[in-house]
Amino acid sequence: MGKTKRLPSIYLAIVFIVLYAPIFYLIYYSFNSAGTMHSFENFTFDWYREVFQDTRLFIILLNTLVIALLSSVISTVIGVVGAIAITRTREKRFRNALLTLNNVMIVSPDVIIGASFLAFFVMIGIKLGFGSVLISHIAFCVPIVVLMVLPNLEEMSPTLIDAARDLGASTWDVLIRVIIPYISPGILGGFFMALTYSLDDFAVTFFVTGSGFSTLSVEIYSLARRGISLTINALSTLIFLITLFLVIGYYIISKQGMKLKEGGISQ
């Protein structure tokens, strides 16, 4: 019986090892002074210094962060409005159709999405660069925000809104003082998920970037094609750590939101 109980834990440990072993292998050799990924010579920060001294990489990092932050904020606003609109839709068929359309961007392969956006931008004459990347990132981040916010809206009791209206609250007051505070954990979760997806995206960005504009994921791919360099390891390690801190931040905030919600219910 005890062995049976241990099997899920063992399986989960194997899955995590398979997933994270290549990442830790990459991180380990990012400190190798030999400049190869075969034999570790001495511990060094030289490859990280190269990353921070490279002006072009710094500009690309700024591009990536600006795109990620802007697309996350805009997609969060659009996603919250879209989720509220879906929950307010009374006709079941129309609501299911909206949910299906929302999920298309999530289940569609990134290559298809990127190629579609490329054809769309060329057709309407939008120059590939900052604008095309921003629009593309907003497009695939909005469905993620909608899915993160919807559960909070669906579990929200209609009596809260009715009570606010009985007390004389306007539609705007109901939205700002009742709905938004209640679904704030979902909003924060959607924002952090959108930020993570935007930072990590390669396939869609690769199709819609123009000459003179790039993001970190596309730049790492270009560097890797030129040959093995531990600068790639250092840069990838930094991206991994940033993403890890974002995920931890989202987890902490969501846990605090759940505690506040449970405290409000108990009172």
pLDDT of 74 > 60? The answer is yes
Q: Is 37 within a domain?
A: no
Q: How many domains does the chain have?
A: 1
Q: Is 11 within a domain?
A: no
Which pLDDT tens digit goes with each residue over 120-161?
998 998 888 898 999 999 999 999 999 889 988 888 877 877
Q: Is 26 within a domain?
A: no
Q: Is 27 within a domain?
A: no
| pLDDT above 90 coverage of the chain, percent | 12
Q: Is 39 within a domain?
A: no
Compute the average pLDDT of residues 176-194: 85
Q: What is the pTM of this model?
A: 0.78
40: left (phi over 0), alpha (psi -120 to 50) or beta: beta
CA distance 80 to 145: 7
CA distance 60 to 180: 35
Compute the average pLDDT of residues 259-267: 56
Q: Give the residue with greater pLDDT, 11 vs 162.
A: 11
Q: Which of these ranges, 203-217, 232-246, 253-267, has the smallest mean pLDDT? A: 253-267
Q: Is 2 within a domain?
A: no
pLDDT of 171 > 90? The answer is no
Range of the domain at 204: 56-266
